[in-house]
Structure 1
Amino acid sequence: MSGFHTRLKSARKHLGLTQEQLAAELNVGKASISAWENDREKPGFRLLHKLSTVLGVSLDELICGEGDDDMLEKPSPLTVRNEAEEVLLRSFRRMPVKRRQALLALMETLD
């Protein structure tokens, strides 16, 4: 079983986020993300929920490694069909959480 730092890095990379992007999502410095991923420090308790939300991983999986063992390794069931979809997906993943939620809400009104 991998440690927290390994699961964190794996989840971040799975989403295609850089350390800088994740840091911006959490309103912390890139150095904090680096320290967490290199097992020099741990995030504060208050950040854990937001971290799990941003990464789309349960707290149990992120902290304890419990749950779906292959969750971070599973490819997405959706595949990118063309370059336009890839651009949209990359842009979406780089957006702050609040903007993602606003965009999704807007898209719901279009259906």
Structure 2
Amino acid sequence: MSFPERLKAARLALGLTQEQLGFELDVTKSTVSAWENGRDAPGFRLFPALKQVLGVSLDYLICGDEAGGIADPAGTYGAEVRSEAEAHLLKRYRKLSRSRQEGLKALLD
């Protein structure tokens, strides 16, 4: 699997659109599309944000190291999940933008 394929798979595993991923990274939908189609690649400054937003290791994203990849089809990425309902909530939380995640955390605190 190539970098563009791993990037797309990680995005789809979270249920994000190209537009949503672009918003999180402050790039356009067409930029994300170019990355996923192999026409371009993200600059190094974006890799930490890609890691955070997609919840995958840079080893997986760049090199294809499966240990940090999308091994969990439920989209929980190693989090301890006690029920299907909790897994569903965790997956929905990870689809939120960073600002909405922060707002939800503030609400819960």
Q: TM-score range by the shorter chain?
A: 0.7 to 0.9
Matches within 5 A, 1:25-104: 25-68=24-67, 71-76=69-74, 78=81, 80-81=84-85, 90=92, 92-104=93-105
- Asked which structure has the greater CA Rg, the reply is 1
SS at match of 1:12: helix
What does the per-residue CA deviation read over 1:29-73, in whole Å, with 9 as the maximum and x for residues that have no partner? 00000000000100011011101110001111111111417x314
Query: Which residue is equivalent to 2:15?
Result: 16
Which of the pair has the greater relative contact order for Cα pairs under 8 Å at 6+ separation?
1
- When the two structures are superposed, what TM-score results if normalisation uses the length of structure 2? 0.78
The one-letter amino acid paired with 2:101 is R
The alpha-carbon distance between structure 1 residues 20 and 80, as it changes in their structure 2 partners (threshold 3 A), is farther
- Is the deviation greater in 37-46 or in 59-68? 59-68
Deviating above 4 A after TM superposition, structure 1's stretches of 4 or more consecutive aligned residues are 77-80, 85-89
Identity of aligned residues (%): 48
1:19/1:30 contact within 8 Å kept: yes
Q: Distance in 2 between matches of 1:26 and 1:11?
A: 15
SS at match of 2:67: coil
Q: Distance in 2 between matches of 1:65 and 1:52?
A: 13
Tell me how many residue pairs correspond in the alignment: 103
- What is the root-mean-square deviation of aligned Cα atoms in Å? 2.6
What 5-or-longer segments of structure 1 have no aligned partner? none
What 5-or-longer segments of structure 2 have no aligned partner? none
